Each structure stands twice: as structure tokens, then as C-alpha cells.
Structure 1
Amino acid sequence: MTAQRQQPNQTGSKSLFRLVIAAIALAALLLPVGAPAATTPRIISDRFSGLAIDGFDPVSYFVDGKALLGLPDFEASQGGVVWRFRNEGNRASFLAHPEVYGPQFGGYDPTDVARGVTVAGNPRFFVVVEERLFLFNREESRDAFAADPSRYLPRAEARWPALEEDLPQ
């Protein structure tokens, strides 16, 4: 009697399996081939709030020379994430030139990117080198990078495209 009860379930699961395979095949036919690549790097953001770099104002690193939290009154959406700013001027500057003010490597630690891994940078550990913002996971990484950026940047820049491609969407 047990075998009889299992028989219909096995048949039903085979039918379901065939239906799923057919749906996948149909979806593959309907999807466009060669979807365009994203033009902006993936930016580290809070998965619940969507805030980039923990709500710190990316322009303040350049203007004030320190990490300052942005305010909810001055937000902007750019690159698929929400950025916060200290004032309207910082917001306008960022929106005019996000490639200048946004963190390099999407906010991932460049010393780790140079090693071939992605580790989120902490907005409190930063350095601006050659008018580019870099965030670091640890103070030691920041200090090593600041002492000799040329030791890390060529390797990080070479490895970043492949690492960025493998990041979850």
C-alpha cells in the first residue's frame, strides 16, 4: 500500500519537473541575448536601507577632509543606491560628478582587491589619493596603502573588473 501512495507523487513530481524545465527553456528564448553591461560599479550599500557608505557624505571627504554623516534631508539616488549629504551644495557637486566623489572600487578595500578578494571598506577608515576616495576595512590597511599607493593600485585596478563581475547584484 505504501508503494501505491508513492507512485502518484513520483509521477506528479516528474510532471512538475518537466513543467519547470519547459518554463526555463521558454524564458531563455524570450530573454534578449547580450544584455548591456552596467555602466556604474556596484557600490557597497546597506541591504535594508539602501544607503551607500553607511550614510556618510562622500563629498565631505574632499571638502572637509573627514568622514561626516549625511542628513536625511539631503539625499539622492545614483548608481542604484541612496547617498546622503551634509548640505545641498555637496549633493549638487556629487550629482554633477559622481565618478569624482564616489569611492573607488565601489567602496571595497583596495588592499584586499589587490589580493583578489572583496572586503567592504569602512567609511571611517579612508584616504584621498590623487583626488580619489578609497575606503578600508582596517586602519592597518589604510596606513599601508597611504604609505605606498603604487604598491596596491596597479594590482587592484587589474583585478577589479573580474571581481566586480562576480559581485551579487
Structure 2
Amino acid sequence: MSLGTMTVARQQKKWRLSAATAVAEAIFAAFLVFAGPSWDATAADTLERVVVDPASGLAISGFDPVAYFSRGQAVRGRPELERRVGGVIWRFENEGNRAVFAEQPEIYGPQFGGYDPVAIGRDTSVAGHPQIWTIKGERLYLFYDEAARAEFLADPERIIERARQKWPSVAYMIPR
């Protein structure tokens, strides 16, 4: 049926539905632009299941998560520069790193909470060591040992995808 043979009321209803659909599509498109391809539904859960040193209670053994990006090295944070995020205590090298992390912990926190993505892909949780790490796709990954890091670097996309698939079931088994 063409618009020419519809009643005025039906034409207005059809136009309102089309306009509503267009608005919804625009909102979804904006979400995709701002969230970007790196958006990950497991990001929130990643920060809820962070590797915590049982002796000190510190996330990733007190290493500054932002320093991996800003300095390209593992740097211990300072006790006077702590911040509680995601239910755990993080330490930082300086005020700037602490402020940046507070704004975007999902960006600077280690992926999979600091658990080794190679192990996660094998359905197990093994804490990564904060001095065995890499940055891939602007995200930080920690590894149990150099062999796991080398395996990751040989095919990071495959290992990341497998770990993302397995993470919900593996994370479920990690005590909070």
C-alpha cells in the first residue's frame, strides 16, 4: 500500500514509527562510535575479579597499572598513593597516574583482572606476574611465566578471543 492510499492518521502513525526507529538507530550508532571496537561486555567483571596479593591485599602486588603505559615498564606504586577501585587497593607511582586510573580503570587495569589469558583460554585461573607483561591493542596483559607470554605473542588475537569466550565461566570460579 502506498502512502497515497493510506488515511491521514495511518500516514502520521507510520511517520512517527519511522522517526522513532531512526532515533533509536542513531543512538545505537553513537554508542558504537563512542564505545569503539574495544568495548567488551566483560570489562566490568574484569575489574571485579582482580589478582590481589594475599599478604598485602594489593591489586597486582602493588604495581602501578598506568606506568606500564606511561613508562613502558613495571613500576611499584607508593603506599601514600593508593586508591580503592573495584573493591581492591591499587598503588600508583604519582598523583597523575592515580587520577588517570580513577577516570578510566577499565582502560588501565590489567585485562582479565591480571589473570593469565593463556591459562584462561584453557579454562583455569592462574594469576599473572606483574613483571611478565605486554600491551596489545592498548590493553595490559599479565602472564604467569615467560612461556605463556611467548605463546600469547605468537598469536595474540586468537588467545584474546579464546580467553574472552572462557572468561565468564573462569571468573565465576574465582572467589571475590
User: Same fold by TM (over 0.5)?
Assistant: yes
Query: Equivalent residue for 2:149?
Result: 142
Cα distance, 1:41 vs. partner? 2.7
Matched, 1:79 2:79: no
Give me the whole-angstrom Cα distance separating, in 2, the residues matched to 1:83 and 1:94.
Answer: 9
Partner SS for 1:74: strand
- Report if aligned partners of 1:41, 1:164 keep a CA contact under 8 Å in 2: no
Q: Would you say the 8 A contact 2:47–2:109 is kept in 1?
A: no
Following superposition, the deviation at residue 113 of structure 1 comes to 0.3
Query: Unpaired runs of 5+ in structure 1?
Result: 1-36
Q: Is the 8 A contact 2:46 2:113 kept in 1?
A: no
Instruction: Give me the TM-score of the superposition, normalised by structure 2.
Output: 0.72
Deviations 1:7-28, CA, capped at 9 Å, x for gaps: xxxxxxxxxxxxxxxxxxxxxx
The count of aligned residue pairs is: 133
* Structure 1 pair 66–96 and aligned structure 2 pair: CA distance change class (3 A): same
Moved over 2 A (4+): 37-41
CA contact (8 A) 1:111 1:141 kept: yes
SS at match of 1:116: coil
| Partner in structure 1 of residue 56 of structure 2 | 49
- Match of residue 95, structure 1, among 84, 90, 102: 102
* Change in CA separation of 1:129 and 1:38 when aligned onto 2, cut-off 3 Å: closer
Q: Give how far 1:38 is off.
A: 6.6
Q: State how far apart, in whole Å, the 2-side matches of 1:54 and 1:86 are.
A: 13
What is the match of residue 107 of structure 1?
114
SS at match of 1:115: coil
Identity of aligned residues (%): 51
Q: Say whether residues 1:152 and 2:141 are aligned partners.
A: no
**Of 115, 128, 131, the match for 2:135:** 128
Q: Report the RMSD for the aligned CA atoms in angstroms.
A: 1.6
SS in 2 for 1:100: helix
* TM-score normalized by the length of structure 1: 0.75
Q: What's the counterpart of residue 10 of structure 1?
A: none
Distance in 2 between the 1:164 and 1:50 partners?
Answer: 19
CA drift of 1:147 comes to 2.4
Alpha-carbon shift at residue 39 of structure 1 (Å): 8.5
- Residue 119, structure 1, aligned to residue 126, structure 2: yes
Report deviation, 1:105: 0.5
1:75 is aligned with what amino acid? Answer: E
